[in-house]
Amino acid sequence: MSIAESFLAKIDQEAATTKRVLERVPGDKLSWKPHEKSMSLGQLALHIATIPGSIVALITPDAFELPSSFDSPEPASSEALVPALESSVATAKEFLAGLDDEAALSTWTLSKGDRTIMAVPRIGMVRSIMLNHWYHHRDQLSVYLRLLDVPVPSIYGPSADENPFA
């Protein structure tokens, strides 16, 4: 088993959890924001749905130049979230299944102009950005749901609304 293939089961597990959270996003609240500096509910949900595939686009080449700004679109509807997630996860799984150890351990570089922001093993980006960044924003979305009084699903254990162990 390659280093990258060891992440495939984790991707499946986290995708199932993420799907449960995205299914709770109310379509009539997509433009809602908890604060003026925050992403809208729809922007955050779509970002979460597309993180795995978006990271593949960043880490496939050996280097990525940061753009001057990032686009944070809103989904057309809450029904678009799960298909976006499924497509994104399929892209990530295909990439990981084909990533050999040499490429996984090769240095990937993020830069902005002449400045190198980071240079890390490509597989480190899978762990820190494809996965950890995904969890971070999914948990942020669970707070949005709570603030909107939407029942929060179980993520790693019981929530105040759902107990898979009961």
Which pLDDT score, from 0 to 100, does residue 136 have?
97
All structural domains of the chain, each given as residue ranges with its CATH number in brackets, are: 4-69+80-147 (1.20.120.450)
Confidence grade of residue 89 (pLDDT, cut at 50, 70, 90): very high
100, 2 Cβ separation under 8 angstroms: yes
Residue 160 per-residue DSSP state:
S
- Strand order across the beta sheet in which 115-121 lies: 63-65, 107-112, 115-121
Instruction: Return the bridge partners of 115, or none.
Output: 112
Q: What is the pLDDT of residues 58-75, one digit of tens each?
A: 999 999 999 888 788 999
Which pLDDT score, from 0 to 100, does residue 68 have?
81
